[in-house]
């Protein structure tokens, strides 16, 4: 069964606006990660948040984690056309943290 589910599946906004993507998961986790994938390419790691952390920032990225609700959100502020990509959350379980389970992704389109 799928560990991570993201919503929305697709999001289209204007350049300069903020983009928020959500991820829900089912089992207890060691950490949760967000990745970006440009069309036809491999994934690029963006940010990792541990289960004992609630919020983390990296540049224009802000990630929150609510372990009681088993959910996370990724906020991209002041979006740019270059942010157009698919964004995936991935969870590392408490047991077997070396393997990641990926969500289905959110396809983000930034319109100039």
For residue 112, what is the enclosing H or E element? none
Closest CA to 108 of 43, 3, 20, 2: 20
For another protein, how many residues bind (rule: CB under 8 A)? 29
Q: Please report whether residue 2 would count as binding another protein according to CB under 8 A.
A: yes
15-23, 46-54, 58-66, 74-82 -> range binding another protein (CB under 8 A): 46-54
Q: Using CB under 8 A, which of 25, 63, 103, 110 touches another protein?
A: 103
Closest CA to 40 of 109, 92, 90, 86: 86
* Nearest-approach distance from CB 48 to another protein, in angstroms: 6
């Amino acid at each position: 069964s799928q560990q991570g589910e993201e919503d929305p599946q697709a999001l289209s906004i204007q350049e300069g606006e903020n983009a928020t993507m959500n991820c829900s998961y089912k089992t207890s986790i060691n950490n949760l990660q967000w990745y970006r994938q440009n069309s036809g390419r491999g994934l690029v790691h963006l940010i990792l948040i541990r289960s004992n952390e609630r919020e983390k920032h990296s540049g224009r990225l802000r990630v929150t984690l609510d372990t009681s609700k088993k959910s996370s959100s990724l906020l991209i502020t002041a979006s740019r056309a270059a942010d157009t990509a698919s964004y995936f959350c991935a969870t590392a379980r408490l047991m077997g943290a070396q393997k990641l389970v990926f969500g289905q992704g959110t396809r983000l389109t930034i319109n100039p």
